[in-house]
């Protein structure tokens, strides 16, 4: 029986056990994923031990094993992280959510709490004794810097600026901000609005919640589904009102564009919408925006090709609609550039920076729009990093006392590479990566939108001197 089937009562340890057996039998990820993922090396270590000693992997070992998956999606088979998330959710259904998870995944609530007395909270957090007590109680690793919340969140700023109201412009865009730019790094959200306004767009901030990704990673299915349902309704209403839709966080984008729509095309509603025949299942061909399909025989595949994944309780057409309408901010600007309407009236930035393409940006398969856009800034030097590198932060997992060391271990090849390059700044669109870079490296970190906004700030009035600043 499929583990995603709602009638299925397979215990979580059995789901993990079947993942172990599948991957042990295949063995591809023993060498392919030995550096950038903590899950596979542990899976193969446990499996080899079982074979050598004849002692079966215990339930406790399977429970710990599943916690090593951060849903980075670098591994080749999407079924594996999907099954692991399902297993995590079943554990949480049984055990409830631990305090650390409840605190760390609910950034809006944390920000609201801290926002009531921001100065007091931040000064308490800066106090060594208080901060170490907070870390102990919440199981945050002693060496991690606790999150500091700015006095004004992006959402408060946007409200003051009137961006939450419907505005009439010649081209309107709705911005899904996400929690990190919304509450922790509001300068990223403000820079994004500034860049879009420099391109003649009218920005609106529609009602929104956390995308649901942190809840999914922690196995909190109920909250993840509530967040998605509400966002789907609000964002699609905004599209219907005539707005383009984009987000600046690659994890929100990956969640809403890729994970949410998985298997939705197998639903009856979708098959009806593309006029599938009685014995047909039509599957959209990648890269054709749903206009071309592969046709399979329903009688042969109906038991495998079903909309029975994690999000199957949500309207499949809404999931597909949201995935198709939402653009990554870099992708959106690159489209403006192709149309010839991207404003390239930049001032020079004679600096050498590294751009790191985060895992969830790469998994959206949208190419690498940011380095190309940033390279339009006169005098800037952009070195790209991506490939199989991962920062290791895993959303907020790196904060946890029992995951901190492993998180740094996964990120260490990337950190070494950046140290070798010794850039003047690091650019990345992922705010989890930013937290990890801030922890591990001495270089300033920016979102690409902050660099573009900076390049728009001063107009070029004299010949450009491209000698690098040191």
Residues that bind ligand SF4 (CB under 6 A): 22-23, 26, 28-29, 33, 37, 39-40, 69-77, 80-81
The distance of closest approach from Cβ of residue 448 to ligand SF4 in the complex, given in angstroms and rounded to an integer, is 24
The distance of closest approach from Cβ of residue 410 to ligand SF4 in the complex, given in angstroms and rounded to an integer, is 8
The distance of closest approach from Cβ of residue 211 to ligand SF4 in the complex, given in angstroms and rounded to an integer, is 17
Q: Which is nearer to ligand SF4, 39 or 456 (CB)?
A: 39
Helices (H) and strands (E) counted in the chain, each on its own, are: 24, 10
Q: Which is nearer to ligand SF4, 29 or 111 (CB)?
A: 29
280-305 residues labelled b (16+ CB within 10 A) or e (exposed): bbbbbeeeeeeeebeebebeeeeeeb
- The answer to whether residues 304 and 317 touch, using CB atoms and an 8 Å cutoff, is no
The distance of closest approach from Cβ of residue 197 to ligand SF4 in the complex, given in angstroms and rounded to an integer, is 37
Q: Which two tokens stand for residue 205?
A: 């901030």
Q: What radius of gyration do the chain's Cα atoms show?
A: 23
Q: Which is nearer to ligand SF4, 163 or 430 (CB)?
A: 430
Q: Which is nearer to ligand SF4, 74 or 245 (CB)?
A: 74
- The answer to whether residues 373 and 330 touch, using CB atoms and an 8 Å cutoff, is yes
Residue 393 CA to residue 406 CA, distance in Å, equals 9
Q: Which is nearer to ligand SF4, 88 or 190 (CB)?
A: 88
Residue 358 CA to residue 47 CA, distance in Å, equals 30
The distance of closest approach from Cβ of residue 105 to ligand SF4 in the complex, given in angstroms and rounded to an integer, is 17
Q: Which is nearer to ligand SF4, 316 or 394 (CB)?
A: 394
User: Cβ neighbours of residue 19 under 8 Å, at least 6 residues apart?
Assistant: 43, 80, 83, 84, 87
Q: Which is nearer to ligand SF4, 29 or 181 (CB)?
A: 29
Residue that the structure tokens 């922690």 belong to? 218
Residue 218 CA to residue 240 CA, distance in Å, equals 33
Nearest CA to 255 out of 283, 286, 232, 222 is that of 232
The distance of closest approach from Cβ of residue 381 to ligand SF4 in the complex, given in angstroms and rounded to an integer, is 31
Nearest CA to 363 out of 284, 256, 280, 271 is that of 256
Segment (H or E) for 452: helix 448-457
Q: Which two tokens stand for residue 248?
A: 């600046």
The distance of closest approach from Cβ of residue 86 to ligand SF4 in the complex, given in angstroms and rounded to an integer, is 13
The distance of closest approach from Cβ of residue 25 to ligand SF4 in the complex, given in angstroms and rounded to an integer, is 8
Q: Which is nearer to ligand SF4, 81 or 423 (CB)?
A: 81
- What sign for the dihedral angle of Cα 389, 395, 399, 402? negative
CB-based burial of residue 416 (10 Å sphere; 0-12 exposed, 13-18 middle, 19+ buried)? exposed
Q: Which is nearer to ligand SF4, 4 or 135 (CB)?
A: 4
The distance of closest approach from Cβ of residue 221 to ligand SF4 in the complex, given in angstroms and rounded to an integer, is 17
Q: Which is nearer to ligand SF4, 71 or 452 (CB)?
A: 71
Provide the pairing of β-strand 326-328 with 244-247. parallel
Residue 155 CA to residue 191 CA, distance in Å, equals 13
Provide the pairing of β-strand 280-284 with 293-297. antiparallel
Q: Which is nearer to ligand SF4, 26 or 142 (CB)?
A: 26
- The answer to whether residues 427 and 370 touch, using CB atoms and an 8 Å cutoff, is yes
User: Which alpha helices (DSSP H) does 181-296 contain, by range?
Assistant: 186-198, 213-218, 221-240, 250-254, 268-273
- The answer to whether residues 434 and 396 touch, using CB atoms and an 8 Å cutoff, is no
Proportion of the chain in helix, strand, coil states, percent, rounded to 5: 50, 10, 40
- The answer to whether residues 3 and 85 touch, using CB atoms and an 8 Å cutoff, is no
The distance of closest approach from Cβ of residue 87 to ligand SF4 in the complex, given in angstroms and rounded to an integer, is 12
Q: Which is nearer to ligand SF4, 22 or 137 (CB)?
A: 22
């Amino acid at each position: 029986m499929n583990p995603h089937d709602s009638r299925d009562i397979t215990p979580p340890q059995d789901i993990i056990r079947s993942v172990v057996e599948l991957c042990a039998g295949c063995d591809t990820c023993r060498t392919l994923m030995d550096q950038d993922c903590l899950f596979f090396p542990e899976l193969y270590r446990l499996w080899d031990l079982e074979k050598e000693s004849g002692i079966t992997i215990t339930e406790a070992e399977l429970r710990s094993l599943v916690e090593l998956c951060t849903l980075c999606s670098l591994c080749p088979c999407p079924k594996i992280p999907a099954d692991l998330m399902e297993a995590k959710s079943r554990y949480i259904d049984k055990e409830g959510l631990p305090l650390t998870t409840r605190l760390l995944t609910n950034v809006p609530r944390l920000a609201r709490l801290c926002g009531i007395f921001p100065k007091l909270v931040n000064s308490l957090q800066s106090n060594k004794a208080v901060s170490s007590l907070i870390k102990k109680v919440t199981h945050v690793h002693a060496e991690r810097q606790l999150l500091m919340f700015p006095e004004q969140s992006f959402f408060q700023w946007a409200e003051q600026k009137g961006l939450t109201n419907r505005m009439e412009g010649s081209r309107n865009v709705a911005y899904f901000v996400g929690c990190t730019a919304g509450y922790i790094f509001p300068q990223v959200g403000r820079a994004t609005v500034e860049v879009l306004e420099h391109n003649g767009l009218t920005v609106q901030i529609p009602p929104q919640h956390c995308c649901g990704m942190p809840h999914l990673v922690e196995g909190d299915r109920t909250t993840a589904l509530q967040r998605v349902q509400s966002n789907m309704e609000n964002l699609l209403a905004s599209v219907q009102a005539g707005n383009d839709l984009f987000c600046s966080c690659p994890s929100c984008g990956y969640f809403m564009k890729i994970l949410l729509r998985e298997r939705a095309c197998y639903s009856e509603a979708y098959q009806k919408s593309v006029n599938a025949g009685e014995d047909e299942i039509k599957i959209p061909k990648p890269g054709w925006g749903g206009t071309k399909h592969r046709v399979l025989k329903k009688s042969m595949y109906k038991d495998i090709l079903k909309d029975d994944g994690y999000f199957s309780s949500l309207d499949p057409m809404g999931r597909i609609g949201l995935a198709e309408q939402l653009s990554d901010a870099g992708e959106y600007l690159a489209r403006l550039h192709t149309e010839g309407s991207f404003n390239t009236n930049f001032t020079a930035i004679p600096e050498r920076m590294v751009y790191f393409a985060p895992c969830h940006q790469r998994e959206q398969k949208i190419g690498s729009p940011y380095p190309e856009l940033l390279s339009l800034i006169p005098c800037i030097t952009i070195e790209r990093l991506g490939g199989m590198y991962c920062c290791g932060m895993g959303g907020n997992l790196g904060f946890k006392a029992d995951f901190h060391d492993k998180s740094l271990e996964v990120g260490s090849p990337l950190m070494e590479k950046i140290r070798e390059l010794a850039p003047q700044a690091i650019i990345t669109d992922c705010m989890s990566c930013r937290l990890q870079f801030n922890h591990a490296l001495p270089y300033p970190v920016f979102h690409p939108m902050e660099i573009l906004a900076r390049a728009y700030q001063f107009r070029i009035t004299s010949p450009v001197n491209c000698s690098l600043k040191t």
